Amino acid sequence: MAKAAAHSWKHDDLMMDLAGYLMSDQRLVWTDMQLGPSGSPRPDVYVLEKSYSRPNPTAFEIKISRSDLRSDTTSGKWQSYLQYAGAVVFAVPDGLCTPADIPDGCGLIVRKAEVWRYARKPTRRAAEPNFQACMKLLMDGVSRVNQRREPRPRYAATWEENAAVRKKFGQAVAECARDLTHARQRLESARSQANSEWDRMRQDVENAKARLIAQAKSELETWAGLRREVITWLGLDENVSTWAVEQRIREMRRACDADQRVERAESEVTRARHAIQSALNALTPRDVAA
- Note whether 107 and 90 are within 8 A (CB): yes
Residue 126 is assigned to a structural domain of this protein: yes
| Separation of alpha carbons 90 and 120, rounded Å | 10
Whether residues 30 and 112 fall in one domain: yes
Residue type, 48: L
Whether residues 15 and 143 fall in one domain: yes
Residue 124 is assigned to a structural domain of this protein: yes
Of 118, 148, 178, which closes a domain?
Answer: 148
Amino acid 149: pLDDT: 44
Amino acid 205: pLDDT: 83
Whether residues 140 and 6 fall in one domain: yes
Whether residues 1 and 132 fall in one domain: yes
Q: How far is CA 124 from CA 23, 50, 69, 107, 137, in A?
A: 20, 17, 21, 9, 22
Amino acid 145: pLDDT: 59
Whether residues 175 and 130 fall in one domain: no
Whether residues 8 and 133 fall in one domain: yes
Residue 290 is assigned to a structural domain of this protein: no
Whether residues 70 and 107 fall in one domain: yes
Sign of CA dihedral 232, 234, 240, 243: negative
Whether residues 26 and 95 fall in one domain: yes
- Note whether 117 and 110 are within 8 A (CB): yes
Whether residues 123 and 36 fall in one domain: yes
Residue 172 is assigned to a structural domain of this protein: yes
Amino acid 87: pLDDT: 94
Amino acid 289: pLDDT: 58
Domain range holding 6? Answer: 1-148
Extract the residue ranges of the chain whose pLDDT is less than 70: 1-5, 139-178, 284-290
Residue 228 is assigned to a structural domain of this protein: no
| Closest by Cα among 138, 94, 83, 142 to 116 | 94
Whether residues 129 and 90 fall in one domain: yes
Counted domains in the chain: 3
- Note whether 159 and 32 are within 8 A (CB): no
Of 111, 126, 148, which closes a domain?
Answer: 148
- Alpha-helical runs (H) found in 47-152: 66-75, 131-136
Residue 100 is assigned to a structural domain of this protein: yes
Amino acid 195: pLDDT: 79
| Separation of alpha carbons 29 and 22, rounded Å | 7
Residue 53 is assigned to a structural domain of this protein: yes
Is the backbone of residue 112 left (phi > 0), alpha (psi -120 to 50) or beta? beta
| Per-residue burial over 120-138, b = 16 or more CB atoms within 10 Å of its CB, e = otherwise | bebebeebbbeeebeebbe
Residue 288 is assigned to a structural domain of this protein: no
Amino acid 150: pLDDT: 43
Of 126, 148, 170, which closes a domain?
Answer: 148
